[in-house]
């Protein structure tokens, strides 16, 4: 990693996890396999910020730890990349196991439970689907009907004021680390 840490992908440990490495990696990983409009790819860092903002709107009583979990929901992708769902399915259960081990190490590193509770995971997934709808219709060329078919149609009020604006990776990285720091400060 750029921090100088050596991360064993098969046996990751929390001491080898640094937020700067996560933010840097996610800022350079393109969502939608890079098939989006704009001068910059839409990064997983940007997506993660949007999912956390949506999650916080959907669940206004969420704790800072739950919000942090939402922000870090795709954090393992900083080293394993973002694969579209059909490719993940084709790769098989090994990908899911790798993702779970990385997620557990990341969660422990930042004071979260190693395993995300099922209820919280489902809530984050709901916010993730709203994000996917927004991304699909705003930057990935989907019609509203196509996006609704794949992701459902979210309430307009939920998305109000959360337009997607592509920015350079350095800006996405800084926004991600800043939000992470804000949430860490709020943890008990």
Instruction: For the chain, give the mean pLDDT.
Output: 95
pLDDT for 5-17, tens place per residue? 999 998 999 999 9
Per-residue confidence (pLDDT) for residue 84, from 0 to 100 = 77
Q: Where are the domains of the chain?
A: 15-186
User: How far is it, in rounded angstroms, from Cα 51 to Cα 39?
Assistant: 22
Per-residue confidence (pLDDT) for residue 109, from 0 to 100 = 98
pLDDT for 8-48, tens place per residue? 998 999 999 999 999 999 999 999 989 999 999 999 999 99
pLDDT interval class at 89 (50, 70, 90):
confident
Nearest Cα residue to 132 out of 98, 62, 84, 92: 84
The mean per-residue pLDDT over the stretch 60-79 comes to 98
Per-residue confidence (pLDDT) for residue 165, from 0 to 100 = 83
The angle, 0 to 180 degrees and rounded to 10, between the axes of the packed helices 118-138 and 144-151 is 170
pLDDT interval class at 96 (50, 70, 90):
confident
pTM: 0.96
Q: Is the pLDDT of residue 76 over 90?
A: yes
Distances (CA, A) of 46 to 6, 96, 143: 25, 23, 22
Per-residue confidence (pLDDT) for residue 185, from 0 to 100 = 97
Topology of the domain covering 15-186: Hypothetical protein af1432 (1.10.3210)
pLDDT for 142-184, tens place per residue? 999 999 999 999 999 999 999 898 999 999 999 999 999 999 9
């Amino acid at each position: 990693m750029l921090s100088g840490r050596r991360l064993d992908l098969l046996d990751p440990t929390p001491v080898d996890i640094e937020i700067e490495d996560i933010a840097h990696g996610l800022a350079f990983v393109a969502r939608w396999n890079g098939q989006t409009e704009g001068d910059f790819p839409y990064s997983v860092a940007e997506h993660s910020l949007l999912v956390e903002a949506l999650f916080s709107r959907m669940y206004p009583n969420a704790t800072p730890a739950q919000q942090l979990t939402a922000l870090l929901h795709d954090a393992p992708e900083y080293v394993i990349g973002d694969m579209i769902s059909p490719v993940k399915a084709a790769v098989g259960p090994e990908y899911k196991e790798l993702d779970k081990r990385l997620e557990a190490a990341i969660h422990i590193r930042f004071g979260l439970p190693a395993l995300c509770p099922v209820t919280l995971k489902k809530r984050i997934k709901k916010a993730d689907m709203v994000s996917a709808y927004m991304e699909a219709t705003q930057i990935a060329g989907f019609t509203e009907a196509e996006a609704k078919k794949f992701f459902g149609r979210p309430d307009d009020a939920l998305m109000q004021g959360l337009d997607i604006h592509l920015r350079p990776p350095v800006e996405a990285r800084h926004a991600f680390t800043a939000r992470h720091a804000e949430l860490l400060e709020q943890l008990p």
